Amino acid sequence: MNARLFAGAAGIPFLVAALAAVPLVADGYQLSLAISIMNYTVLSTAWALFSGPTRYVSLATVAFFGIGAYTVAVFSEILPWPLILLIALGIGMAVALIVGLSTLRLSGVYFVIFTFGLAELVRQLVTWWEVNVTRTLGRYVFIDITTEQIYWQLLALVVLVFAAGLLIRRSRLGLALRVIGDDEAVARHVGINTTIAKVALFTLSAAFMTLAGAVMAPRWTYIDPAIAFNPVVSFQVLIMALLGGVHRLYGPVLGVIPLALLFEFLLANFPNHFSILLGLAFMLIVYAIPRGIAGLAEQAGRLLGRSGGGGS
């Protein structure tokens, strides 16, 4: 087991190097698709960091993604890129901290409804501010960043979110979150500060979502609240994470790749029916693959191991 873990860890730099070389060999369409996959990998893995162990289903992904994107739209012409990213990160984490402290005592369907409402509330607040204060709705984004640079920045976020996930899962915080997911009442009885644990990871998850939105913003020449805070993003991330499997850190990636390709096909060929097909995909995944592709692979591995052991 240790030898396999060492071999897997040793191969990570080569995998990252291979992914970093994609813009050097891909054409425009292929690079655009690769950017989409990287973006959803960051979002779905960040979603699973919090929702996987705690089993709190969040639909607030697009709230933080939109905060990052709209921050770039507001400051793109007056501030340097690194400072814009820091401002977006600060705003996203501050909102997550406030929301987490005030709402993570909810659970079940109440938390799901609240997070969906949060994304809509943020969109409406931004719209109100633009219409009544700035007297405009929507902004143009002018930043001297190439498509290749966007891809590399998203790849850096992918590496960071996976590194954060590995560190958390091997820490006391990761253990505390798994206990919370199994039974929050028991977690409190054994001395775990459930509020701090949940808020800390919710804020970290939101930080990656916010940065993903900020990095993706230059892909659009024009951004308005409807684009930045499109609720479909939250459902896409949820479906991808569930399809891949949230009980393993690598699980969401197994859902991102096939669904990103599927969504690309549906948008190109059935744009007027995309929402209906998205809902059907969600229902099929929930009922047919409740533990995701990672769960199916592990179950198949156990069955093969038993049959092999029985044969010997």
pLDDT digits (tens, 9 = 90+) for 94-110: 999 998 888 777 777 88
Residue 294 has pLDDT above 70, yes or no: yes
Q: Is the pLDDT of residue 4 over 70?
A: no
CA gap 145, 216 in Å, rounded:
11
Half-sphere exposure of 64 (CA within 13 A, CB side): 34
Phi, psi of 139 (to 5 degrees): -140, 150
Give the mean pLDDT of 266-273: 81
Contacts of 32 (CB under 8 A, 6+ apart): 147
For residue 301, give the amino acid letter.
G
Helix (H) or strand (E) holding 166: helix 147-169
* pLDDT, mean of residues 85-91: 96
Residue type, 262: L
Does a structural domain hold residue 306? no
Diameter of the chain by CA atoms?
A: 76
Residue 9 has pLDDT above 70, yes or no: no
Structural domain includes residue 287: no
193/38 Cα distance (integer angstroms): 34
Q: Tell me whether residue 275 is in a domain.
A: no
Please name the amino acid found at residue 171. Answer: S
| Within a domain: 74 | yes
The answer to whether residues 247 and 169 touch, using CB atoms and an 8 Å cutoff, is no
First-to-last alpha carbon distance for the chain, in angstroms, is 21
Give the whole-angstrom CA distance, residue 68 versus residue 89: 7
Q: Which of 225, 255, 282, 222 is nearest to 63 (CA)?
A: 225
pLDDT confidence band for 7 (50 / 70 / 90):
very low
pLDDT, mean over the chain? 86
In a domain? residue 12: yes
**158-197: buried (b, 16+ CB within 10 Å) or exposed (e) per residue?**
bbebbebbeebbeeebbebbbbbbeebeebeeeebebeeb
- Could you tell me which residue, 63 or 268, shows the higher pLDDT? 63
Q: Are 159 and 172 in contact (CB under 8 A)?
A: no
Let me know if residue 178 belongs to a domain.
yes
Least confident range from 2-16, 137-151, 169-183, 240-254: namely: 2-16
Q: Does residue 276 form part of some domain?
A: no
pLDDT at 140 over 60: yes
Whether 295 is in a domain gets the answer no
Of the candidates 54, 53, 70, the one whose C-alpha atom is nearest the C-alpha of residue 62 is 70
Q: Which domain does 155 fall in, by range?
A: 2-230
| Alpha-carbon distances of 297 from 17, 97, 290, 303, rounded to whole Å | 27, 36, 13, 10
Place of tokens 């969040």: 58
Number of domains in the chain: 1
Q: What is the mean pLDDT of residues 179-199?
A: 83
